[in-house]
């Protein structure tokens, strides 16, 4: 995944035409499109290949099962044309290894959720977030998912993993995070959903966030 705008679109709409139109409109300003349950359950797995015309596709299925089931899920995801899959880390090293093995067979990437962005993310996941981050680095994952709503946590996780993994960070805009703060804290990409796909002009909204990232936290870059 090439780093240009440092932004990933979370395309959580449920209509095929709308999804394709938004992806096309914003493709200039995003480095990838994240597709998850809302869109795939509504339109089918084939949407992944259709969207891949506009950007690399990250399949957000937060895979969280035993190794064999994880393997079967990841095979379907990569057969469908996804460039990366997002998996949970809390299921343990063997479950993660199964995803990474399949990804490497297909030449694709795995992102591991270390900590989540919503208030409840602090309840159970945050206390083990750093342990999950270390495990993901040891297992050879490509990247981590860490919360844009808590840039200080992104910074702490970046300090633990160094440059070994990339960090993608959801929670910008609708959840309160500011894109340039999270990038300054050590994220490689921010993930943005509602602030783009619910805007009157998704393209303008994406352009503005990309410009804010480029300008930096104090507008001085």
Catalytic residues: 60, 62, 65
C-beta closer to ligand O7M: residue 10 or 99: 10
**How far, in Å, CA of 7 to CA of 107, rounded?**
23
> Nearest distance from residue 182's CB to ligand O7M, in Å?
12
Confirm or reject binding of residue 210 to ligand O7M (CB under 6 A). Answer: no
> Nearest distance from residue 190's CB to ligand O7M, in Å?
9
State which of positions 14-53 bind ligand O7M (CB under 6 A): 36
DSSP code, position 191: E
Number of amino acids touching ligand O7M (CB under 6 A): 22
Which of 89, 129, 186, 193 is the binder for ligand O7M (CB under 6 A)?
193
Site string for ligand O7M, 66-105 (x = CB under 6 A): --------------------x-------------------
Beta bridge partners of 145: 113, 168
**How far, in Å, CA of 98 to CA of 207, rounded?**
38
Confirm or reject binding of residue 133 to ligand O7M (CB under 6 A). Answer: no
C-beta closer to ligand O7M: residue 20 or 192: 192
> Nearest distance from residue 87's CB to ligand O7M, in Å?
9
Which of 145, 183, 205, 210 is the binder for ligand O7M (CB under 6 A)?
145
Confirm or reject binding of residue 10 to ligand O7M (CB under 6 A). Answer: yes
Strands in the chain per DSSP E:
7-10, 32-36, 57-63, 84-88, 109-113, 143-145, 166-170, 189-192
Do the Cβ atoms of 157 and 188 come closer than 8 Å?
no
User: CB-based contacts of 3: which residues, under 8 Å, 6+ apart?
Assistant: 31, 188, 189
* SS3 category, 11: coil
Tokens of residue 170, six digits: 């959801």
63 half-sphere exposure, CB direction, 13 A CA radius: 31
**How far, in Å, CA of 50 to CA of 109, rounded?**
19
Tokens of residue 217, six digits: 């936290």
Enumerate the known binding-site residues for substrate: 12, 34, 60-69, 117, 170-180, 193-194
Residues lying near ligand O7M in the complex (CB under 6 A) are found at: 10, 12, 36, 60, 62, 86, 113, 116-117, 121, 145, 147, 170-171, 173-175, 191-195
């Amino acid at each position: 995944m090439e780093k240009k705008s440092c932004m990933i679109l979370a395309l959580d709409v449920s209509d095929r035409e709308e999804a394709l139109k938004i992806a096309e409109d914003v493709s200039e300003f995003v480095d990838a499109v994240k597709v998850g349950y809302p869109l795939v359950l509504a339109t089918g797995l084939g949407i992944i290949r259709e969207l891949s015309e506009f950007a690399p596709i990250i399949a957000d299925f937060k895979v969280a099962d035993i190794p064999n089931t994880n393997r079967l899920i990841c095979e379907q995801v990569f057969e469908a044309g996804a460039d990366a899959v997002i998996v949970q880390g809390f299921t343990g090293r063997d479950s993660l290894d199964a995803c990474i093995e399949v990804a490497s067979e297909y030449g694709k990437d795995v992102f591991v959720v270390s900590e989540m962005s919503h208030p409840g993310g602090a309840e159970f996941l945050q206390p083990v977030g750093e342990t999950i981050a270390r495990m993901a680095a040891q297992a050879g994952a490509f990247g981590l998912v860490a919360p844009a709503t808590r840039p200080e946590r992104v910074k702490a996780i970046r300090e633990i993993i160094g440059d070994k993994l990339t960090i993608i960070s959801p929670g910008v805009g609708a959840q309160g995070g500011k894109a340039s703060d999270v990038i300054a804290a050590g994220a490689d990409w921010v993930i943005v959903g509602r602030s783009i796909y619910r805007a009157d002009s998704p393209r303008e909204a994406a352009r503005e966030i990309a410009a804010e990232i480029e300008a930096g936290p104090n507008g001085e870059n």
